[in-house]
Amino acid sequence: SATIIDGKAFAAGLRTRIATQVVTFRDAAGRAPGLAVVLVGEDPASSVYVRSKGKATREAGMESFEHRLPADTDQATLLALVEQLNADPTVDGILVQLPLPGQIDAQAVIQAIDPDKDVDGFHPVNAGRLATGVEGFVPCTPLGCLMLLKSIHPSLSGMDAVVVGRSNIVGKPMAQLLLGESCTVTVAHSRTRNLAEVVGRADIVVAAVGVPGLVKGEWIKPGASVIDVGINRIETGLVGDVEYDAAAERAGAITPVPGGVGPMTIAVLLRNTLVSAGRREGVAIDQTAL
């Protein structure tokens, strides 16, 4: 039966390793790495995320700057705050929590963030850096997925990988990361024909769709590694995009929901913030030890 990939434990270990290097950074730079998080409005899920991010940031020994703006904030006000954070030398990372209210153009806000403080990796400059193999910031959730995969397969070279979902936040950067690891990558999406057959070829399946149980257990190639990014609330609780029990009978390794990919996102956000702080202050961060 499948190895259960314990993302919760992996993320806890990563956060401990980050905290160790934060101490080194603070000694060298004379200040803590700083992460600014901006929340517009009071969306309950977003409020929970922002609170968790602030708590995790402080627990890692970093400084958390939280900016809460009313739901009717106009775009110019938000852009002015982003400019202020871009110019603030104590801020190493800027994250604007999505989704934003309808009167604000999210792309305009993302593009206003200094790409060298864009720890979410959503700025087009960072998407381009990822696509061309230049050092930058990689979106947290797909980078977390890659870390989990590499804990199972230190080399992914030559493996057939299928990413289901093509969002800018998960699917596309995940595909780029797997390409960077020399996988043969297929990106499936809502218009894909015969998803069962496409998934069935894969040694690595990453599901990032948002439809409970879309990926059927019987589709999984025996021994494949399955990474389930989906977080779907149903009557019985949280489930992923993969039919977990049936998939676990065939897979070699699989992430549970909850406790798989979910906890990795914030841990990687802290990683990106530490790496940013190191770059900005010229303090060496050992990324191989993270």
Binding-site member from 34, 121, 136, 165 for ligand NAD (CB under 6 A): 165
Residue 84 main-chain phi, psi, to 5 deg: -65, -40
Taking the complex as a whole, how short is the minimal distance between the CB of residue 239 and ligand NAD, in angstroms? Answer: 10
Q: Which of 166, 221, 250, 271 binds ligand NAD (CB under 6 A)?
A: 166
Active site residues: 53, 97, 120
- Exposure of 95 in the CB half-sphere (CA atoms within 13 A): 31
When the beta carbons of 67 and 166 are compared against ligand NAD, the nearer one is: 166
Task: Specify the residue, 24 or 210, whose C-beta has the smaller distance to ligand NAD.
Answer: 210
For ligand NAD, the binding residue among 21, 265, 272, 273 (CB under 6 A) is 265
Q: How far is the CB of 70 from ligand NAD (least distance, A)?
A: 25
164 sits near ligand NAD (criterion: CB under 6 A): yes
Shortest distance in whole angstroms from residue 85 CB to ligand NAD:
23
d(CA 160, CA 48): 36
What's phi and psi for 221, nearest 5 deg? -65, 135
Nearest-CA neighbor of 147 among 255, 21, 52? 255
Of the candidates 210, 238, 281, 283, which one interacts with ligand NAD according to CB under 6 A?
210
20 binds ligand NAD (CB under 6 A): no
Q: What is the nearest approach in angstroms of ligand NAD to the Cβ of residue 55?
A: 16
Q: Does 186 bind ligand NAD (CB under 6 A)?
A: no
Kindly state the smallest distance separating residue 201's Cβ from ligand NAD, in Å. Answer: 15
The verdict on 192 binding ligand NAD (CB under 6 A) reads yes
Q: Quick check: 232 binds ligand NAD (CB under 6 A)?
A: yes
Rounded distance between C-alpha atoms, residue 148 and residue 135, angstroms: 21
The C-alpha atoms of residue 257 and residue 248 are separated, in whole angstroms, by 12
x/- map, 63-102, ligand NAD, by CB under 6 A: ----------------------------------------
| In the complex, minimum distance from the CB of residue 76 to ligand NAD, in angstroms, rounded to a whole number | 27
Binding status of residue 37 toward ligand NAD by CB under 6 A: no
Among 198, 211, 238, 283, binds ligand NAD (CB under 6 A): 211
The stretch near ligand NAD (CB under 6 A) out of 73-81, 125-133, 183-191, 269-277 is: 183-191
CA dist 174 → 93, 170, 178, 185, 227 (Å):
21, 6, 6, 10, 11
Contacting positions for ligand NAD (CB under 6 A):
141, 164-167, 169-171, 188-190, 192, 195, 208-211, 214, 229-232, 261-262, 265
